[in-house]
Chain A
Amino acid sequence: MSTAVHQTGSAALDIERIKRDFPILDQKIHGHKLVYLDSAATSQKPRAVIDALVRYYEHDNANIHRGVHTLSVRATEAHDEARETVRCFIQAADANEIIFVRSATEAINLVAETYGRANVGEGDEVLITAMEHHSNIVPWQMLCEEKGAHLRVAPINNAGELELDAFEKLLSPRTRIVAVTHVSNALGTVNPLRKIVQLAHAHDVPVLVDGAQAVPHLPVDVQAIGCDFYAFSGHKVYGPTGIGVLYGKEEILAEMSPYQGGGDMISSVTFEKTTYNVVPYKFEAGTPDIAGAIGLGAALEYISKLGMDKIAAHEHDLLTYATDKVGAIAGVRLIGTARERAGLLSFVMEGVHPHDLGTILDHEGVAIRTGHHCAQPVMDRFGIPATARASFAVYNTREDVDALVEGMRKAQEVFA
């Protein structure tokens, strides 16, 4: 039941206990306790996920949808259960609307290459925003180039928020699809998805949402959002690398042509004609990442038990604390100051290049991301080549933020 997934309780999370669920965090880097603030790049994995992978390979490994033998049945059931767990987690109406892919990137490419190719023609338009990750820019650019279509980009303001009026004006009779991020990976901005979907649907334009940076931090309900596609990666939400999810409304998926050809995506094959399988299998050619799907299922179960509302509240507290502390350091400029933010803090420091900061922090045991975060147009928008980005997960504490701030002060001393 969907209510079981997003259960909430009154007790706050015991973060120290949660930290112990993540074996990797119990180590020292350059003599300091590891402070991992790079979860937006990839999150660490709880013991429950690692155990699920080991258990699968030690007890149940077999190919799915193939054999009548016991292991194949077990593997198939475990894979099906993972799909149901994902459905429940994002509140999709039906498990057939959940397609397992490699990553959010592949999910977006799948839509661009199938729905996009079929529906975007010469002179048509694809509408994205100025805060997209490269993975939600380049597939559309490639499609537009192939079709002679135009990529339109809705602007963002100085706080890093989407300019909704401008977005609405860019919706034209030629717009064929809107692709927008739920949470910006470079700025932390949370987009007003319901409003965006409402505007797009008023023009009969479907909406794809890149949810890679949202699913770890916020309760997601794709039916409430109303989007037509929702993409995310497993590894950013405590699951293994190599597994991702594309949600699509069943009636749209059913109309779409297949993505890749091969085994499992067919009903019957002769040299004259192949009949394709039904959704979601139509889009899952070849032996999938079975262990990855099972690991992702374990990850979603783990955080569902903690409660997404509680995780969101904890991270909101951390982000507020970090914004105050980091923002108070002289010479620091926060990049991305939207009213609604989640999961991360991007900033630049006067006199200290992000790379140098990253190296110095690493020697304090603090891991952050530095660079353009695969969002070069965002960097251009703010006139900077790179930022430092501290990103949070359920296992982070205020002490982690203090370690970051302390390291930043040390970096300032080096470059004083």
Chain B
Amino acid sequence: MTTELGDLYQEVILEHSKAPRNFRRPVSANHEAEGYNPLCGDRCTVYIDMDGDKISEIGFQGSGCAISRASASMMTQMVKGKTKAEAVKLFEQFHNLVTGKDEAAKADDLGKMAVFGGVSKFPARVKCATLAWHTLQSALEDEKKQEAVSTE
């Protein structure tokens, strides 16, 4: 693998894509949203149990590439227990990271998710990495989202 490719498919990303965490619908879920990337057909549904302003439980389901699955898996681990505002802020930082706008984000609050910094060298894959986050944002906003949120 080239260095760039190695930066994209880091071991932790491959591992999460093969064995995604929280890959389920929590029985207590009271918010959900479906995300869809019409360019590639990737789908992702995010389920949240909001306890007041706090994400007390979260899960996801769907089909997609290694980047989108790993991103969704690690996102669920990261935002569990966070408030809505904290989750939205993390999305902003993550978005800056994968679009190459904020190199410093690697060292900030994103923790393990800093491994997605390699995505910034692959503009065509940014939407794969952010699909779950877009869907999370939509799920946070609406109790029941009727239409799938799109990356487009």
Interface, chain A (partner B; CB < 8 A):
30-31, 353-356, 359-360, 363, 370-372, 376, 379, 385-386, 410, 414-415
Scan residues 1-50 of chain B and give those whose CB is less than 8 A from a CB of chain A: 1-2, 4-5, 8-9, 14, 18, 39-43
Query: A residues within 8 A CB of B4?
Result: 30, 363
Kindly provide the distance from the CB of A407 to the nearest chain B CB, expressed in whole angstroms.
Answer: 11
Q: Please determine whether B40 and A386 come into contact, CB atoms closer than 8 angstroms.
A: yes
* CB contact between A356 and one of B39, B43, B63, B66 (< 8 Å): that residue: B66
Q: Please determine whether A371 and B39 come into contact, CB atoms closer than 8 angstroms.
A: yes
Q: Please determine whether B14 and A355 come into contact, CB atoms closer than 8 angstroms.
A: no
* CB contact between B65 and one of A354, A363, A376, A414 (< 8 Å): that residue: A354
Q: Enumerate 28 A-B pairs (CB-CB under 8 Å) in ascending A order.
A: A30-B2, A353-B64, A353-B66, A354-B65, A355-B64, A355-B66, A355-B67, A356-B9, A356-B66, A359-B122, A360-B5, A363-B4, A371-B39, A371-B40, A371-B41, A372-B41, A376-B41, A379-B41, A385-B41, A385-B42, A385-B43, A385-B64, A386-B40, A386-B41, A410-B1, A414-B1, A414-B14, A415-B18
Kindly provide the distance from the CB of A292 to the nearest chain B CB, expressed in whole angstroms.
Answer: 26
Q: Please determine whether B1 and A355 come into contact, CB atoms closer than 8 angstroms.
A: no
Query: B residues within 8 A CB of A376?
Result: 41
Contacts A356-B65, A385-B64, A414-B5 aside, 18 further interface pairs with beta carbons under 8 A come to A31-B2, A353-B64, A353-B65, A355-B40, A355-B65, A355-B66, A355-B128, A359-B8, A359-B125, A360-B9, A363-B5, A371-B41, A385-B40, A385-B42, A385-B43, A386-B40, A386-B41, A410-B1
Interchain CA distance A100-B2 in the complex, whole Å = 46
Q: Please determine whether A415 and B40 come into contact, CB atoms closer than 8 angstroms.
A: no
Interchain CA distance A414-B14 in the complex, whole Å = 8
Interchain CA distance A376-B39 in the complex, whole Å = 11
Query: B residues within 8 A CB of A372?
Result: 40-41
Q: Given the known A-B contacts A359-B5, A359-B125, A414-B9, are A370 and B40 also in contact in the complex, defined by CB atoms under 8 Å?
A: yes
Q: Please determine whether B125 and A363 come into contact, CB atoms closer than 8 angstroms.
A: no
Chain B, Cβ-Cβ closest to A410: B1
Query: B residues within 8 A CB of A359?
Result: 5, 8, 122, 124-125
Nearest first, the 9 A-B pairs at minimum CB distance are: A355-B65, A353-B65, A385-B41, A372-B41, A371-B40, A386-B41, A356-B66, A363-B5, A356-B65
Chain B, Cβ-Cβ closest to A358: B124
Q: Given the known A-B contacts A363-B2, A385-B63, A415-B66, are A355 and B125 also in contact in the complex, defined by CB atoms under 8 Å?
A: yes
Chain A, Cβ-Cβ closest to B42: A385
Interchain CA distance A360-B18 in the complex, whole Å = 17
Kindly provide the distance from the CB of A385 to the nearest chain B CB, expressed in whole angstroms.
Answer: 4
Chain A, Cβ-Cβ closest to B125: A359
Which of A30, A354, A359 is most buried by chain B, counting CB atoms within 10 A of its CB? Answer: A359
Interchain CA distance A415-B8 in the complex, whole Å = 13
Chain B, Cβ-Cβ closest to A355: B65
Query: A residues within 8 A CB of B64?
Result: 353, 355, 385
Interchain CA distance A415-B17 in the complex, whole Å = 10
Interchain CA distance A183-B42 in the complex, whole Å = 26
Query: A residues within 8 A CB of B18?
Result: 415
Query: A residues within 8 A CB of B14?
Result: 414-415
Chain B, Cβ-Cβ closest to A31: B2
Query: B residues within 8 A CB of A355?
Result: 40, 42, 64-67, 125, 128
Query: A residues within 8 A CB of B66?
Result: 353, 355-356, 415
Kindly provide the distance from the CB of A351 to the nearest chain B CB, expressed in whole angstroms.
Answer: 8
Kindly provide the distance from the CB of B45 to the nearest chain A CB, expressed in whole angstroms.
Answer: 14
Kindly provide the distance from the CB of B118 to the nearest chain A CB, expressed in whole angstroms.
Answer: 11
Query: B residues within 8 A CB of A354?
Result: 40, 65
Chain B, Cβ-Cβ closest to A387: B41
Chain A, Cβ-Cβ closest to B6: A414
Chain A, Cβ-Cβ closest to B1: A414
Scan residues 56-103 of chain B and give those whose CB is less than 8 A from a CB of chain A: 63-67
Query: B residues within 8 A CB of A386?
Result: 40-42
